[in-house]
Amino acid sequence: MPRDNFTKDTILRLAQRAGYTCSICESLTVGPSEEKENSVNITGVAAHISGASEGRGSRRYRSDMTTEERKSISNGIWLCETHADLIDGDEVTYTEKRLHEIKDRHETKVQYKHAGVNIDKGLFTEIEICNLATFTSSTRIKFQQNNLIIGQGSPGKTILCEFLASLKNPSLLKRWEDNKNRGNSFFSIKYFRTEELTYNIRIDSKRKITYDLNGVGTPVLIPSSTIFHLNKCFRDFVIENELDYKIKKSFMEYFGLREIEYLNFIADVATKKKYIIEDFEYDTEEDYLSVKLKDRTNYRSFQSLSSGEKDRVILEMTLQLAIFYSKFNSTITIIDQEAFPTMDSAGYCNLIKVVVENCFDFQFIVATFFEKNELPYKLLNTIELTVVEGDTKVQQLTMHHK
């Protein structure tokens, strides 16, 4: 029986769409050859998902497919030589459906990486909102590694941050239980790590909130990431309610740290590079934190700092905690403007510069009311929200690489 082989163009396209990496093991399948100055050594294979011909050794052959269907790019998958042999020796494990899933997942990963999105640690890639707050029509917003959400007034910045953070803290959805006049309201969050997950949260006209993961109902949502959400509640919890301005207890409770963990964290951070402040020291016996700010020459007690200076210390500690967590788990840091009301545009510019220049392993999302011309928005994936006739409109201003 003749084989329905791929054309040279189809082979090239399969290799390019896979980023010249194996769709199973992700090993690189192209490199320079020493034969000539312009020689290339390709070790990848354009393998058929459904067999190219009927007969012995042709796996997953389907007689109902036409010649063109067998030769099409949709029936191909790019693999290293080892895995090309492996799938042809085990059609029980590598079914047609399974290979299509592997191919789709791999091409999605390549697409994110090509767009400058670091998916190795896992991150939110998209949210769709419909019929909630000022998002009255279905609205999709895409995310990258570092993201800036801007908009004057109340176009939905805080709501957007709360929806993302609700995977870790479902209590943020409580105010949406009174949704009887809304009807079909939902938001879906796409998360990608080794594969794409879609978390769906629906709120019906009877005020009932339901969840599903990839279309399968679930009583609770267990987040794939550590999510640090800094909002007004965070500020009230960590600063405003601490009349003596000793932050240990409130910081421990908000971030779920035991005392020994907090003390070890503070001791560790004291020896590390600082980003927002110059330095700080912590006396464990006296429970006393002293701080040296970048624009000061001496150490001062945390209690003696102004509200804005305290914000800088808290922000430094939060960044350090996110850096630490991101070593072990997918970590997402969401900062709403209400968490640091004393911070001006210069402060946000510095924060953005710190995050971009240091290429942290956590995903960064910051929402602020400052105008785009006041912030270095071209360094981040920037989402501008505007309310037009009661409906939030979204503009993605840039898709700059990390």
Residue 24 is given by DSSP the state T
Per-residue pLDDT, averaged over 107-135, amounts to 84
Per-residue pLDDT, averaged over 250-255, amounts to 79
Tell me the pLDDT tens digit for each residue of 183-239.
Answer: 678 899 999 877 788 999 988 777 788 889 888 988 877 777 899 999 888 877 776
The partner residues of 150 in beta bridges, in order of sequence, read: 368, 384
Per-residue pLDDT, averaged over 149-168, amounts to 89
Give me the residue label for tokens 């790590």.
Answer: 193
Tokens standing for residue 314: 């808290």
Q: What are the respective helix, strand and coil percentages of the chain, to the nearest 5? A: 35, 25, 40
- Burial zone of 124 (CB within 10 Å; 0-12 exposed, 13-18 middle, 19+ buried): buried
Single-letter residue type at 17 = R
Per-residue pLDDT, averaged over 255-279, amounts to 86
Q: Is the distance from CB of 396 to CB of 383 less than 8 angstroms?
A: yes
- Mean per-residue pLDDT over the chain, rounded: 86
Tell me the pLDDT tens digit for each residue of 11-32.
Answer: 999 999 999 999 999 999 999 9
355 CB-near residues (< 8 Å, 6+ apart): 146, 364
Cα angle value 316/227/270 (rounded, 5°): 25
Give me the residue label for tokens 């670091």.
Answer: 118
Give me the residue label for tokens 């063109």.
Answer: 68
Give me the residue label for tokens 């796996």.
Answer: 59
Of the candidates 340, 343, 370, which has an alpha carbon nearest to the alpha carbon of residue 230? Answer: 340
Residue 244 pLDDT more than 90?
no
Q: State how far the alpha carbon of 353 is from the alpha carbons of 350, 375, 376, in Å.
A: 5, 10, 8
φ, ψ (nearest 5 deg) of residue 173: -90, -5
C-alpha to C-alpha distance for 325 and 258, rounded to whole angstroms: 15
354 CB-near residues (< 8 Å, 6+ apart): 275, 276, 319
Q: Residue 298, SS3?
A: coil
The pLDDT-based confidence of 45 (bands split at 50, 70, 90) is very high
C-alpha to C-alpha distance for 173 and 222, rounded to whole angstroms: 15
C-alpha to C-alpha distance for 399 and 382, rounded to whole angstroms: 7
The pLDDT-based confidence of 402 (bands split at 50, 70, 90) is very low
User: Any idea where the domains of the chain sit in the sequence?
Assistant: 8-114, 147-169+223-402
Of the candidates 48, 41, 36, 63, which has an alpha carbon nearest to the alpha carbon of residue 6? Answer: 48
336 CB-near residues (< 8 Å, 6+ apart): 157, 158, 161, 229, 230, 231, 232, 367
- Burial zone of 143 (CB within 10 Å; 0-12 exposed, 13-18 middle, 19+ buried): buried
C-alpha to C-alpha distance for 363 and 381, rounded to whole angstroms: 12
Per-residue pLDDT, averaged over 93-109, amounts to 91
Tokens standing for residue 20: 């010249």
- Burial zone of 263 (CB within 10 Å; 0-12 exposed, 13-18 middle, 19+ buried): middle
Per-residue pLDDT, averaged over 132-145, amounts to 88
Q: Give the Cβ contact number of residue 303 at 10 Å.
A: 14
- Domain 147-169+223-402: state its class: alpha beta
Of the candidates 152, 163, 172, 178, which has an alpha carbon nearest to the alpha carbon of residue 130? Answer: 163
Residue 68 pLDDT more than 80?
yes
